[in-house]
A and B are shown apart, each in its own frame.
Chain A
Amino acid sequence: MSDLVSQDLNMIFTSPKGEHVHALKDITFTLKKGELLTVLGPSGCGKTTLLNIAAGFLRPTSGKITLGNNEINGPGVERGMVFQQGALFEWLTVAENVNFGLRMKRVDPVKTAEKVEEWLDIVGLKGFGNTPTYQLSGGMQQRVALARCLINDPELILMDEPLGALDALTREKMQSLVLKIWKETGKTIILITHSVEEALLLGERVYVMAPRPGRIHTEYKLPFASMGLDGDLREIKNNKEFVTKREEILSMIWDMEEEIMGKEI
């Protein structure tokens, strides 16, 4: 049983001036192995903070978070991370980026090369192994980031707005890719997005978070991700139920945003 369990997670940042920001308040949830969770919410509601805690980059102020009964206490290979801008090592080629994790573990180079080929094929970058990373387009960079994370075979994949910086067309292709990988590898995935549509399309489960303090506002269980596995994503977007859900969540977020603005004024 390698579920991700979060119990009463609290995160309070203290700025140098002494102000406290309650970034996360009493976050409790359980994510079963193989589930795909998308997290939505207005900017500043603590999505990234949650993910950083799950990745082990941050220690929560209180509460605990465990993966398969092991408390998360620092970064680890069993939790892979994909960032918004890829965070690729631009001084390395595509293949060198992808095999970075294996190289750090000093895996046999021949085996590594085989695996790299395999993963480049899966993410659709066959033949790009020797291309310098800085020559890649945004979409290709995210593919590399995916492959770099997946080659380590992590139990949990954490993605922080991975498709946020892509154009609409590329984005759609990448969404299919994420779904495909999810299906083929059966990994547990948390994907943060600011696009309601994307959250609905990809998320088996969707958390809508609210700010100040950051908390889980509403939770949805949705069928669209499973539909998208074999269906056409665009068709789903026109699905009536999909459209209603989208409008519902959108207006919810709108209200939150308005509340923030009101507070600030």
Chain B
Amino acid sequence: MLTGIVTFLIIFAVIGSILYGQKLIKTEKTDAVFGNPERAKGGVHWVILGSCFLLFLWLYYSWDIAKAFYPKSANELCQVAKVTESLLSLKYLFPIEERQHKSTAIIQRENVNINDKILAIQNAHKLETHDKERFVRLLNSTQQIIPLLTDEKYLQLETKNIISDLTNRIKRLTENFPKDTYPPALSDEAEKKRIEALQKQRGWGATGMEVPPLPETRVGLKFHTAAEELNKISDEFFSMRNHHPKYLRKVKAIIGEIKRYKSGLDDGQELEMTYIKEIKKLGQRIHYASIFPPSALDALEQSIRDFDKVQKQEQGAIRVRDILFFPGGTIVSSGPTCAEDGPGRWLPKPSDTFRIFGDLLKPSVGFKMIPMLWYEMMGVNKIVDFFLPDWVADILPGRYPVHTSYGKVEPNFKSRVLDIVTGNFEAFKIPVPTGHIWDSFLRVFLGLALGIIFGVPLGIFMGLNRFAKGFFDPLVELYRPVPPLAWAPLIITVFGIDNVGKVFLLFMVSFSIMIISARAGATGTQLSKIHAAHSLGASRWQILREVIFPNSLPEILTGVRVAAGMCWGTLVAAEFLAGTTGIGFVENVARKYMQYEVIWITIFVMGVLGLLFDITIRKIIDRTIPWRGKG
């Protein structure tokens, strides 16, 4: 419903934007030069057009438009798929979608196989001559059973009857199929059961199911019933064997000889065993194939052709919908499993995506029992415990209390301090953020912050001091070019899969970037500025703080921006590897369970968070270094 409205809105917006743009182009004074930068400014209407176009592609290719306007179409296509599937094995018997009759193809192939085998046997050095002769004779008699299958005069009456019965049933189906009375009404009880089952069936795209398999419409029921009947016909056909008693006798003789030969072999004659088994297999392949005389199935073929034509005609509107509204794939190709095959599967429908996103955002639902972004009340004592190390109490003078002879323990100052640093006290609670998104954010933030805190001073030091540059250069330059994720297994082993490992990995990423940018900033300080500061009476420390540091700020902040991007990318991949929270973890789990909606949601969330990070840093840059590029 909503999707339908949105689709119309999009179409209106697209048409409106194009018309408005056209009008604007006409009224704008025409600039004769190509490449006028004025044109690069674009226009809101083109932005609307672009966004709508994107949204439309999404709606269309995820088959959400099909779902909005023809909610039953997937189900109907599924029924068509059933018919197509049932016809398939029958059609393959004839040159309908193949080049040859199946019988022809089998005979051709088996003759080749047998001749190849004869050649192989004659060239086998390790076989005894009398074995060779026996094998060739067996193969020749195997080859000679084929004519017993293909000769009209060995086609038994019984077989002929079955074929004509099947042919008539298909003909009748062809006749009835287009009629309104097809399928015939079920018995009351059966109908009741059918409707009951239908009511239990959930709709298209409902959780855990892509396309509902039971027919929901009359047209669907028609195809469904026909498919069932065709399945029966096909089963009967393939269980029928064209085996004349003469043929059976001959086969029996061959099998008997093979058996006798095998029982005469001893354990050492593996080679002979292999050959005789292969010879037996060749015979079996012919035995179990459906081989019929050349024109024995002509009537059946015609009836199948006729039915195929009729069912294709009957598909009518369904087929048109399939072509128009199911781009890039189709449900029909999935056969009777009734699944979405194509972008409908891996490109989630906007409607589903937003619904699932809404669910994920609910703090009570979240993902794997952890909300995406929420808050929890945490006692101040826990926070104190986290930030104050326990040794603070240990290094205080004095001893911890000792129990008295009355069996009591009197707290003293030292033990009270210990209570505080271990968070062992009552305190009010404050809300702190939690959830997958927050965890990811916090990791990046901490990694980045540590990288800045340690990298900037070291970088500036390296930019000013030959020793520092030379001493730390090998260290930084050797670990920096290694892709961060290559470090991941090692670091995760050393620091654990939890936050410490990830934060350290991110610290490594940001540390090298910050060193390099701070160093570049410090090295880039104009000598005349340092000279000026010197003659104005600044000390070394003052020059460092008042001249070199602010002068390096543009580079440092650009470094922060780059590092933030790198950290973000690394984090998501690291969360993919290990861990139990974070947005990368969510995606990894969703990937395992093929929850395409969730995958796309995580991709979207990562994009937005990365963008927010970047925008924030860009804002900070604009705020703190407005002189950049203007000095």
* B408, CB-defined interface residue at 8 Å: no
Task: Enumerate chain A residues within 8 angstroms of B546, measured Cβ to Cβ.
Answer: 89, 100, 104
Interface residue ranges of A80-99 to B (CB < 8 Å):
80-81, 83, 85, 87, 89-92
Task: Enumerate chain B residues within 8 angstroms of A81, measured Cβ to Cβ.
Answer: 531-532, 535
* Per-residue interface assignment for chain B, residues 513 to 538, with 1 indicating a CB less than 8 Å from any chain A CB and 0 otherwise: 00000000000001011011111111
* B397, CB-defined interface residue at 8 Å: no
In this complex, what residue of B is CB-closest to A81?
A: B535
In this complex, what residue of A is CB-closest to B549?
A: A91
Task: Enumerate chain B residues within 8 angstroms of A89, measured Cβ to Cβ.
Answer: 529, 533, 546-547, 550-551
Which of A91, A132, A134, A145 has the largest number of chain B CB atoms within 10 A? A91
* A49, CB-defined interface residue at 8 Å: no
Nearest CB of A to B536, in Å: 4
How many angstroms between the C-alpha atoms of A92 and B408 in the bound complex?
66
* A47, CB-defined interface residue at 8 Å: no
* B539, CB-defined interface residue at 8 Å: yes
How many angstroms between the C-alpha atoms of A90 and B551 in the bound complex?
8
Nearest CB of A to B578, in Å: 43
- Decide if B630 touches A75 in the complex (CB within 8 Å): no
- Decide if B532 touches A87 in the complex (CB within 8 Å): yes
In this complex, what residue of B is CB-closest to A82?
A: B532
* Per-residue interface assignment for chain A, residues 52 to 73, with 1 indicating a CB less than 8 Å from any chain B CB and 0 otherwise: 1001110000000000000000
How many angstroms between the C-alpha atoms of A76 and B528 in the bound complex?
15
Q: Which applies to chain B's interface (DSSP): helix, strand, loop or mixed?
A: helix
Nearest CB of A to B469, in Å: 17
With contacts A89-B547, A105-B537 taken as known, whether A57 is within 8 angstroms of B627 at the C-beta atoms is no
Task: Enumerate chain A residues within 8 angstroms of B533, measured Cβ to Cβ.
Answer: 89, 100, 104
Nearest CB of B to A101, in Å: 4
Task: Enumerate chain A residues within 8 angstroms of B535, measured Cβ to Cβ.
Answer: 55-56, 75-77, 79-81, 149, 154
- Decide if A104 touches B532 in the complex (CB within 8 Å): no
- Decide if A87 touches B627 in the complex (CB within 8 Å): no
- Decide if B550 touches A104 in the complex (CB within 8 Å): no
Task: Enumerate chain A residues within 8 angstroms of B542, measured Cβ to Cβ.
Answer: 104
How many angstroms between the C-alpha atoms of A152 and B534 in the bound complex?
12
* A148, CB-defined interface residue at 8 Å: yes
- Decide if B547 touches A83 in the complex (CB within 8 Å): no
- Decide if B531 touches A87 in the complex (CB within 8 Å): yes
Nearest CB of A to B532, in Å: 5
In this complex, what residue of A is CB-closest to B543?
A: A104
Task: Enumerate chain A residues within 8 angstroms of B630, measured Cβ to Cβ.
Answer: 90, 134-135
- Decide if A101 touches B528 in the complex (CB within 8 Å): no
How many angstroms between the C-alpha atoms of A223 and B538 in the bound complex?
38
The total of chain B residues at the interface (CB under 8 A) is 23
Nearest CB of A to B74, in Å: 63
- Decide if B531 touches A75 in the complex (CB within 8 Å): yes
How many angstroms between the C-alpha atoms of A235 and B529 in the bound complex?
37
Interface residue ranges of B573-631 to A (CB < 8 Å):
625-627, 630-631
* A188, CB-defined interface residue at 8 Å: no
Task: Enumerate chain A residues within 8 angstroms of B534, measured Cβ to Cβ.
Answer: 56-57, 75
Task: Enumerate chain A residues within 8 angstroms of B550, measured Cβ to Cβ.
Answer: 89, 91-92
How many angstroms between the C-alpha atoms of A92 and B529 in the bound complex?
13
How many angstroms between the C-alpha atoms of A133 and B531 in the bound complex?
18
How many angstroms between the C-alpha atoms of A149 and B630 in the bound complex?
23
Task: Enumerate chain A residues within 8 angstroms of B526, measured Cβ to Cβ.
Answer: 87
Task: Enumerate chain A residues within 8 angstroms of B538, measured Cβ to Cβ.
Answer: 100-101, 104
How many angstroms between the C-alpha atoms of A133 and B546 in the bound complex?
15
* B83, CB-defined interface residue at 8 Å: no
How many angstroms between the C-alpha atoms of A134 and B628 in the bound complex?
9
- Decide if B531 touches A101 in the complex (CB within 8 Å): no
In this complex, what residue of B is CB-closest to A83?
A: B528
Q: Which of A101, A133, A134 contacts B536 (CB 8 A)?
A: A101
* B553, CB-defined interface residue at 8 Å: yes
Q: Which of A56, A80, A132 contacts B626 (CB 8 A)?
A: A132
With contacts A104-B538, A132-B627, A134-B626 taken as known, whether A55 is within 8 angstroms of B547 at the C-beta atoms is no
In this complex, what residue of B is CB-closest to A87?
A: B528
Task: Enumerate chain B residues within 8 angstroms of A90, measured Cβ to Cβ.
Answer: 627, 630-631
Nearest CB of A to B539, in Å: 7
With contacts A90-B627, A132-B627 taken as known, whether A104 is within 8 angstroms of B537 at the C-beta atoms is yes
In this complex, what residue of B is CB-closest to A76?
A: B535
Q: Which of A77, A133, A134, A135 contacts B537 (CB 8 A)?
A: A77
How many angstroms between the C-alpha atoms of A87 and B631 in the bound complex?
9
- Decide if B539 touches A133 in the complex (CB within 8 Å): no
- Decide if B529 touches A55 in the complex (CB within 8 Å): no
In this complex, what residue of A is CB-closest to B630?
A: A134
Interface residue ranges of A138-174 to B (CB < 8 Å):
145, 148-149, 152, 154
Nearest CB of B to A122, in Å: 18
How many angstroms between the C-alpha atoms of A52 and B535 in the bound complex?
11
Task: Enumerate chain B residues within 8 angstroms of A55, measured Cβ to Cβ.
Answer: 531, 535
Q: Which of A56, A75, A100, A134 contacts B631 (CB 8 A)?
A: A134
In this complex, what residue of B is CB-closest to A152?
A: B536
How many angstroms between the C-alpha atoms of A130 and B253 in the bound complex?
113
Nearest CB of A to B535, in Å: 5
Task: Enumerate chain A residues within 8 angstroms of B547, measured Cβ to Cβ.
Answer: 89
How many angstroms between the C-alpha atoms of A79 and B532 in the bound complex?
11
Nearest CB of A to B631, in Å: 4
With contacts A90-B631, A91-B627 taken as known, whether A100 is within 8 angstroms of B536 at the C-beta atoms is yes
How many angstroms between the C-alpha atoms of A148 and B542 in the bound complex?
17
Which of B538, B539, B547 has the largest number of chain A CB atoms within 10 A? B538
- Decide if A152 touches B537 in the complex (CB within 8 Å): yes
Q: List 28 A-B contacts (CB under 8 A).
A: A55-B531, A56-B534, A57-B531, A75-B535, A76-B537, A81-B535, A85-B528, A89-B529, A89-B546, A89-B547, A89-B551, A90-B630, A91-B551, A91-B553, A91-B627, A101-B538, A104-B537, A104-B539, A104-B546, A132-B627, A133-B627, A134-B626, A134-B630, A145-B532, A148-B532, A149-B535, A149-B536, A154-B535
Closest 3 CB pairs of A and B: A75-B534, A101-B536, A87-B528
Chain B: residues with CB nearer than 8 A to chain A? 526, 528-529, 531-539, 542, 546-547, 550-551, 553, 625-627, 630-631
Extra 13 A-B pairs, beta carbons < 8 Å, given A77-B536, A149-B535:
A75-B531, A75-B534, A76-B535, A79-B535, A83-B528, A87-B531, A90-B627, A91-B553, A100-B546, A101-B536, A134-B627, A134-B630, A148-B532
